[in-house]
Structure 1
Amino acid sequence: MRPASTLPATTDVLVVGAGPTGLMLANWLQRLSVDHVLIDGKDGPTRQSRAIAVQQRSFELYAQLGMIDPVRDESVAARYVRPGWQRRAAPVPLPVGRIGLGMSAYPGIHILEQSANERLLVSHLRDAGGTVSWGHELASLDRDDHGVTAHVTHDGGTREIRARWCVGADGASSPVRKAADIPFSGTTSPDTFWVADATGVEGLPAETVSVRLGTGSFMITFPLHGERRHRLVGVIRGEPDEAAARRIAEEGFGVTWRESGWFSTYRLHSRVADRFRDGRIVLAGDAAHVHSPVGGQGMNTGLQDAHNLAFKLAAVLDGTATDALLDRYDAERRPVARRLVSTSDAAFRFVTDQRPRNRRLRRLAVPLIAPVMPLLLRLPVGRSAVAAVGQLRIHYWMSDAAKGRARGRRDRVVGRRLPWTGSNHGVLREATWQVHAYSPAPPSLDGMPELVSAAHRFDPRPDVGLLRDRWYLVRPDGFVAAAAPPDGAPAEFARVLREHGYGDRAVRARAAAVAEAPPRGRPSGQRPDD
């Protein structure tokens, strides 16, 4: 643990909160050579499992960061989802081990406890030369037009840190958000929820996510590492303690357990900060949005906040872009949070609403829908739902002007994460602006904006929207910023970069050709994506 007196007096970015969001941000800032300080009042990573689902898009972020192997090694792959009504499970489980196959290099449903995510991120940060200042708590925060001054306490002492930017990744009760006086608009559920990491569980199948509905309650369970070990989540009415949860689980769903390594109750909040940026303060993760755990989206959304924000902070700090680029962070990530709150709340209301009509609907839904779910998942609507849950369908407007030109109609490729083709995500590990061509001829960097530093050719994939007569501008975070015919690509890409907030140094045209990737299915020196 580093004493408070050894913290630097100044830094470019102060990150408050070393949960998954803050740790992901610090890892990327370290990778991008951005001077930063990461503080947290805890004495180390959380020891509680907390969030557990890691979606396919989060696996892609871990792959781009270069830590996919330990993440995959420690994850539990759920082979099935099995719905049920009270004590009765559906007769046939839904196979999900390869759900999303063809959309990502990491199909399936992956379980990795928050404690493990944090531990792996801390280890990767340390290996990259970064550090976390554990036991350092934000006491107060002053700000002006040029930065913030943070008062940090540790071991009874206080130290001031001056930072050009401050990121609040400090949870739902965020002191940073409160210091910025940013409202946290939303609602609080009247119900109390319980969560248990239980061992010696009886009444649940292995390697299976179980979704049990009932007239007055529900229970969702996830397999964890260890024999007969599961995460159990349910709603409790009355005395909120483990004894009551045990009664509900056994009497309502036929599930028992020997002991719990962690048991907690909580009230569910659905809130989104009114703005994600206020001057020199930026919010991410639970400090910016909280919502129902239905769908396993929360931690994953925070990881994507951090990933998006890191590249923007780096560009602003090195002078490549104006701070207007950070307004794009709010414009891109806040709508994602609002949609997530809306959809997760709707799903949550479906499983908890006590009105007789909805109780009857839930009772009918399991026997009617469960048998046809395998077929539904093969249809376009089912694949779209899988991609949405995996956070593969997120769309950003690249600028307000772009939204106006499109009249609100979203493109299949532009504004979205680059469609995976089996080989084209490996080059994203370069974390640079790139031009891609999906055609026999390779793209050229000649005349391209100087910010674009790599060119790659792949085979055409019109089935996922990657056309042979277009070149694609791909951002460092893997989102497609623009598409244009080859002869018009340099001018179009320059215009898009200016709309992002990049300046003359980034946008000016290259005077001479630069070596390109070899014209074949995957770039030289790269293995196919895992």
Structure 2
Amino acid sequence: MTTATADVLVVGAGPVGLTAALVLKQLGHEVLIVDGQAAGVNTSRAAVVHSHTLEILEPYGVVPALVARGVHTPVFTIRDRDQVLIPVPFDDLPTAYPYTLMISQADTEKFLLERVLELGVEVRRPVTVAAVTQDADAAVATLADGSQLRAHYLIGADGMHSTVREQAGIGFTGGSYAESFALADVRLRGGVPRNEVILYFSPAGLVVVAPLPDEMFRIVAAVDEAPHEPDIAFIQRLLDERGPRAVPAEVTEVVWGSRFRVHHRLADTYRDGRILLAGDAAHVHSPAGGQGMNLGIEDAVTAGRTLSRVLTGESEDLLDEHAAARHRTARAVMSTAGRLTTAGTVPAVARPVRNIGLRVAGISPAVRHRLALRLSGLDRR
């Protein structure tokens, strides 16, 4: 039986696991990453990096590449077809990054992985973790081949169906929304700007249209039954029914598409002894507002910094404080995302009334500023 030793074992090589390893390695600790997939993602999934996320990543050498690659969108707008209900400006926020950065998850992972490897972190894949145990001195991951990896602490960043969370016996409380969602990266012609993320709350239903690099747009729409692979005709129908009307948007290509259902679940705790959770292993929720990956990266940065303090001699009580604080933060973020989703998926008969209410609320500069702080994550500084 082979045993490898590290200060911290990170299970999961997505953006969250890579960030945790990056923070710990840069702070001088030995880190090992394992992941069950043979390679990283090559589709975009998460596509938003917010201002606060860029701020907390600043010390770790990846922000210049992210900022250079992504599309800078200085405003988020809620619309009813062509009518603006609430404009949410980011360009006057108190930050060096007064915009939403639109960039594919594949690119985010690429830049994080490059930096992790540059620092000398080992990433082993495909490696399947079959069991996780712990004793007074270490956490131990038993792999599918029977070998074991032993570390002082273990971070579970292995997604919604986390083996680490299940092995630790941590509950994952919540449920699912009834609606399904269509997701696609497309190329468009017509009436959609490239400097704006738009959430269309039309009478026909919700659709998000956001710019991506390489002249693409991200489309997300709530539908009764989304197709497994949405085609041009399906996306075009969504935009015709819900998107801009004065200058319609024409779909010229679907680069990639999928479907998903929205779950809302939160781990009962972020810590069990020498095991910490981060990212989707700890929380999953609606993509409304683009908070999921950002919250996970924030988990990873704070977990890495806290573990570093404990590894260098400070009290383990810091880990309990970290776990409690992240749990509170996740609850607040999930509440915001849930309210946006509920507003976007109200029954058709209530949508005109909803839109009137949003238009009235959007008149207030204070409301617009609060929304900008909340969506950008700057209210969590």
TM-score in terms of structure 1 length: 0.66
Q: Aligned pair in 2 of structure 1 residues 367, 390: CA closer, same or farther (>3 Å)?
A: closer
Q: Report the counterpart of residue 34 of structure 1 in structure 2.
A: 29
Question: Which amino acid letter does the alignment assign opposite residue 13 of structure 1?
Answer: V
1:118 aligns with 2:109: yes
1:323 shift after superposition: 1.4
1:134 shift after superposition: 2.3
Residues 408-427 of structure 1, C-alpha deviation per residue, up to 9 Å, x if partnerless?
Answer: xxxxxxxxx3xxxxxxxxxx
Asked whether the 8 Å contact 1:77–1:97 carries over to 2, the reply is: no
Question: Which amino acid letter does the alignment assign opposite residue 391 of structure 1?
Answer: G
Q: Aligned pair in 2 of structure 1 residues 278, 164: CA closer, same or farther (>3 Å)?
A: same
Which is richer in strand?
Answer: 2
Q: Report the counterpart of residue 128 of structure 1 in structure 2.
A: 119
Asked whether the 8 Å contact 1:82–1:90 carries over to 2, the reply is: no
1:313 shift after superposition: 0.9
Q: Aligned pair in 2 of structure 1 residues 99, 299: CA closer, same or farther (>3 Å)?
A: farther
Distance in 2 separating the partners of 1:212 and 1:355: 14
Q: Report the counterpart of residue 512 of structure 1 in structure 2.
A: none
1:132 shift after superposition: 1.6
Distance in 1 separating the partners of 2:189 and 2:133: 50
Q: Report the counterpart of residue 212 of structure 2 in structure 1.
A: 224
Question: Which amino acid letter does the alignment assign opposite residue 189 of structure 1?
Answer: Y
Identity of aligned residues (%): 31
Residues 130-152 of structure 1, C-alpha deviation per residue, up to 9 Å, x if partnerless?
Answer: 23212112122222333222122
Residues 118-141 of structure 1, C-alpha deviation per residue, up to 9 Å, x if partnerless?
Answer: 111111111222232121121222
1:25 shift after superposition: 0.4
Question: Which residue of 393, 414, 420 corresponds with 2:379?
Answer: 393
Please give the residue correspondences for 1:338-353 in structure 2 after superposition, counting only pairs within 5 Å. Answer: 338-353=331-346
Question: Which residue of 216, 223, 233 corresponds with 2:220?
Answer: 233
Q: Report the counterpart of residue 145 of structure 1 in structure 2.
A: 136
Q: Aligned pair in 2 of structure 1 residues 239, 392: CA closer, same or farther (>3 Å)?
A: closer
Q: Higher relative contact order at CA 8 Å, sep ≥6: structure 1 or structure 2?
A: 2
Question: Which residue of 4, 8, 12 corresponds with 1:9?
Answer: 4
1:277 aligns with 2:271: yes
Deviates more, 1:163-172 or 1:195-204: 195-204
Question: Which amino acid letter does the alignment assign opposite residue 184 of structure 2?
Answer: A
Where do 5+ consecutive residues of structure 2 fail to align? none
Number of matched residues?
374
1:110 shift after superposition: 1.5
Q: Report the counterpart of residue 104 of structure 1 in structure 2.
A: 95
1:261 aligns with 2:255: yes
Question: Which amino acid letter does the alignment assign opposite residue 174 of structure 1?
Answer: S
Q: C-alpha root-mean-square deviation of aligned residues, in Å?
A: 2.3
Distance in 1 separating the partners of 2:193 and 2:368: 25
Q: Report the counterpart of residue 324 of structure 2 in structure 1.
A: 331
Q: Report the counterpart of residue 301 of structure 1 in structure 2.
A: 295
SS of the residue corresponding to residue 145 of structure 1 reads coil
1:210 aligns with 2:207: no
SS of the residue corresponding to residue 294 of structure 1 reads coil
1:199 shift after superposition: 1.9
Asked whether the 8 Å contact 1:82–1:89 carries over to 2, the reply is: no
Distance in 1 separating the partners of 2:24 and 2:352: 51
**Runs ≥4 in structure 1, deviation > 4 angstroms?**
91-95, 243-246, 365-370
1:289 aligns with 2:283: yes
Distance in 1 separating the partners of 2:58 and 2:355: 41
Q: Report the counterpart of residue 499 of structure 1 in structure 2.
A: none
1:299 shift after superposition: 0.8
Q: Aligned pair in 2 of structure 1 residues 93, 238: CA closer, same or farther (>3 Å)?
A: closer
Asked whether the 8 Å contact 1:40–1:137 carries over to 2, the reply is: yes
Asked whether the 8 Å contact 1:80–1:93 carries over to 2, the reply is: no
1:95 shift after superposition: 7.9
Question: Which residue of 41, 55, 64 corresponds with 2:59?
Answer: 64
SS of the residue corresponding to residue 182 of structure 1 reads coil
Q: Report the counterpart of residue 382 of structure 1 in structure 2.
A: 368
Distance in 2 separating the partners of 1:385 and 1:83: 11
Q: Report the counterpart of residue 39 of structure 2 in structure 1.
A: 44
Question: Which residue of 170, 175, 180 corresponds with 1:182?
Answer: 170
TM-score in terms of structure 2 length: 0.91
Question: Which amino acid letter does the alignment assign opposite residue 114 of structure 1?
Answer: Q
Q: Report the counterpart of residue 359 of structure 1 in structure 2.
A: 351
Distance in 1 separating the partners of 2:112 and 2:106: 10
Distance in 2 separating the partners of 1:173 and 1:29: 25
Residues 86-114 of structure 1, C-alpha deviation per residue, up to 9 Å, x if partnerless?
Answer: xx3137995846141xx112112221221
Asked whether the 8 Å contact 1:25–1:306 carries over to 2, the reply is: yes
Q: Report the counterpart of residue 187 of structure 2 in structure 1.
A: 199
1:207 shift after superposition: 2.3
1:183 shift after superposition: 0.8
Distance in 1 separating the partners of 2:96 and 2:187: 32
SS of the residue corresponding to residue 258 of structure 1 reads strand
Q: Aligned pair in 2 of structure 1 residues 291, 352: CA closer, same or farther (>3 Å)?
A: same
1:221 shift after superposition: 1.0
Distance in 2 separating the partners of 1:307 and 1:62: 8
Question: Which amino acid letter does the alignment assign opposite residue 385 of structure 1?
Answer: L
Q: Aligned pair in 2 of structure 1 residues 38, 265: CA closer, same or farther (>3 Å)?
A: same
Asked whether the 8 Å contact 2:10–2:156 carries over to 1, the reply is: yes
Asked whether the 8 Å contact 2:78–2:84 carries over to 1, the reply is: no
Distance in 1 separating the partners of 2:179 and 2:205: 11
SS of the residue corresponding to residue 9 of structure 1 reads strand
1:181 shift after superposition: 1.1
Q: Higher Cα Rg: structure 1 or 2?
A: 1
Asked whether the 8 Å contact 1:78–1:208 carries over to 2, the reply is: yes
